[in-house]
Chain A
Amino acid sequence: MIHPDDMFQAFEPHRGDSVVIVTGTGGRRWRDISTNEKRDLNVHGAMGQTSSAAMGFALAQPNEKVVFFDSEGALLMNLGILATTAGKQPKNFFHFLMDNECYATTGGQPVPNSQDISYAGMAREAGYAAAYEFDNLEDFSTNVGKILEETGPVFVAMKMVPLVENEPIGMRKRGAVRTRAETIRTIQEELGITVV
Chain B
Amino acid sequence: MVNQQAALLRPETLIEEFKKNGVTHIVTIPDSETNYLYELMKEQPWLDVVPASREGETFAIALGLIVGGKVPVCLIQNTGMMESGDSIRGMALDAGFPLVMMIGYRGWNRHGVITDSAARYTEPFLIAMGINYYLVEQDEDAPRISVAFEEARANKRPVAVLVGDEYHGFNR
Contact = CB atoms under 8 A, between A and B. Distances in A.
Partners in one complex: yes
Q: Is the contact region of chain A dominated by helix, strand, or loop, or is it mixed?
A: helix
Nearest to A83: B53
A46 B91 contact: yes
What is the interface of chain B mostly: helix, strand, loop, or mixed? mixed
Interface string A17-44: 0000000000000000000000001011
Name, among B48, B63, B70, B97, the residue most crowded by chain A CB atoms within 10 Å (CB to CB).
B63
A59 B68 contact: yes
Interface string A58-79: 1111000000000000000011
A125 to B, nearest CB: 15
Interface in A46-95: 46-47, 49-61, 78-81, 83-84, 87-88
Contact of B57 (A41, A44, A80, A181): A80
A52 B60 contact: yes
B67 A184 contact: yes
Interface in B54-99: 54, 56-57, 59-72, 86-87, 89-91, 94-98
Contact of B67 (A47, A80, A81, A187): A187
Nearest to A56: B64
Interface residues of A, number: 36
Given A60-B70, A83-B53, A84-B53, A45 B64 contact: no
A57 B57 contact: no
Given A46-B56, A46-B87, A188 B64 contact: no
B50 A88 contact: yes
Contact of B64 (A46, A60, A78, A83): A60
Contacts of A194: 69
Given A53-B91, A59-B68, A46 B60 contact: yes
Contact of B53 (A50, A54, A59, A81): A81
A52 B67 contact: no
A41 B53 contact: no
B94 A45 contact: yes
A53 B63 contact: yes
Contacts of B50: 56, 59, 84, 88
A54 B90 contact: no
B106 interface: no
A58 B68 CA distance: 8
Given A45-B91, A47-B86, A52 B71 contact: no
A43 B87 CA distance: 12
Given A49-B60, A80-B52, A59 B65 contact: yes
Nearest to B71: A196
Contacts of A49: 56-57, 59-60, 86-87, 90-91
Contact of A84 (B22, B52, B90, B97): B52
Contacts of A55: 61, 64
13 contacts: A46-B86, A46-B89, A47-B86, A49-B86, A58-B64, A59-B48, A59-B64, A60-B66, A81-B57, A83-B53, A84-B61, A88-B50, A181-B96
